[in-house]
Copies of this chain bind each other. A is one copy, B any other.
Amino acid sequence: MRQYLEWLFQEVNFVEVRFSTSTFYLMPRVKSFDEEEVLTKAMNLFWKQGYSATSIQDLVTHLGINRASLYDTYGDKEQLFKKSFELYRRKSIEGISHLLNSHSNVKDGFYELYNKAINEALLDNDRKGCFAVNNTTELVPNDNNCLEILTSNRNAFENLFFEYLKKGQKKGQIKKSKDLKSLASLLFTIYNGMLVVSKINRNKKELNDSVKLALSLIE
Binding site for B on A (CB under 8 A): 48-50, 52-53, 126-127, 129, 133-134, 136-138, 140-142, 147, 150-151, 154, 179, 181-183, 185-186, 188-194, 196-197, 199-201, 206-207, 209-210, 212-214, 216-217
Contacts and interface: CB of A to CB of B under 8 A. Distances in A.
Contacts of A52: 50, 52-53
Count of this chain's copies in the oligomeric assembly:
2
Contacts of A140: 127, 129, 199-200
28 contacts: A50-B50, A53-B138, A53-B142, A126-B141, A127-B141, A129-B137, A134-B137, A136-B196, A136-B200, A137-B196, A140-B199, A141-B199, A150-B200, A154-B197, A179-B209, A182-B206, A182-B209, A182-B210, A182-B213, A185-B210, A186-B214, A188-B197, A189-B210, A190-B190, A192-B197, A196-B196, A216-B217, A217-B217
A201 B137 contact: no
Contacts of A137: 50, 129, 133-134, 137-138, 196, 199
A200 B185 CA distance: 12
Nearest to A140: B199
